[in-house]
Amino acid sequence: GEDVEQSLFLSVREGDSSVINCTYTDSSSTYLYWYKQEPGAGLQLLTYIFSNMDMKQDQRLTVLLNKKDKHLSLRIADTQTGDSAIYFCAESRGGYNKLIFGAGTRLAVHP
């Protein structure tokens, strides 16, 4: 299909790790992205991974890419209440890096 798919909701306890999963469709996507959206705000670019990599770590964030299965995940270590937001994965398509977004995963962090 044409869609980038994500689970809609994830609830975690503060201090635990969160893992948000995504499947994409275009095997020729050059870059894959994770964005964060807080209520009433725009999308904040969290991290991205080049398609020839299988892992990227940036402080508390770890991105894993399984190109064979077209599966992308975002792990947030030591999840905090400030991490509560909607997380979007996106794949790039075409020479101008058009982004196709998933529906977003709402992450709720509770004490």
45 binds other proteins (CB under 8 A): yes
Q: Which is nearer to other proteins, 30 or 73 (CB)?
A: 30
Q: Which of 10, 43, 46, 64 binds other proteins (CB under 8 A)?
A: 43
x/- map, 13-42, other proteins, by CB under 8 A: -----------------xx-x-x-----xx
Q: In this structure, are residues 10 and 18 in contact, taking their beta carbons and an 8 Å threshold?
A: yes
